[in-house]
Amino acid sequence: MQSSPSRTFLFMLAGPIIWAMHFLFIYSVNGIACARPALHGAWLGVPVSAWIIVVASVLALAAMTLIFFRLRTRVCTAGATPGFLPWVAGTLSLLSGLAVVWETMPVMLLPSCG
């Protein structure tokens, strides 16, 4: 199946796009939780905002994985080296996944507002 250049471009940048949306979301959640002390709540001894961030991180990682594995065989371009675009997309998704994990780790290690 031949793919359009815009679809190929989105496939390659799916990981960084998901990471950017995740980054914006978790900092918004943390900012709102810190700005509104009345919204502070805990479940199992962990702030609700931390649970929201962890769930968002799991969803972001799952979306990156799903998009990569679903589209890697569908996106191919004539004249390009076979396997290069899926390799680039996989590498960008892996780096974006590491970034998601890296920005989620402080949620469980540090207090959300300090």
- Asked whether residue 114 is assigned to any structural domain, the reply reads no
Total number of domains in the chain? 1
User: Taking residues 69-85, what's their average pLDDT?
Assistant: 66
Q: At 75, is the pLDDT very low, low, confident or very high (cuts 50, 70, 90)?
A: low
Q: Is residue 112 domain-resident? A: no
Structure tokens at 48: 């609700």
Owning domain of residue 45:
5-105
Tell me how many degrees the CA angle 63-70-67 measures, rounded to the nearest 5. 25
Note whether residue 113 is domain-resident. no
Instruction: Compute CA distances 31 → 8, 34, 45, whole Å.
Output: 35, 5, 20
Instruction: With a cut of 60, say whether residue 68 has pLDDT above it.
Output: yes
In angstroms, what CA-CA distances link 16 with 57, 92, 95, 101? Answer: 14, 7, 8, 13
Domain assignment present for residue 110? The answer is no
- Residue 111 inside a domain? The answer is no
| pLDDT confidence bin for 5, thresholds 50/70/90 | confident
In the chain, DSSP assigns E strands to 42-43, 46-47
DSSP β-ladder status, 46-47 and 42-43: antiparallel
- As a whole number, the mean pLDDT across the chain is 82
pLDDT at 109: 84
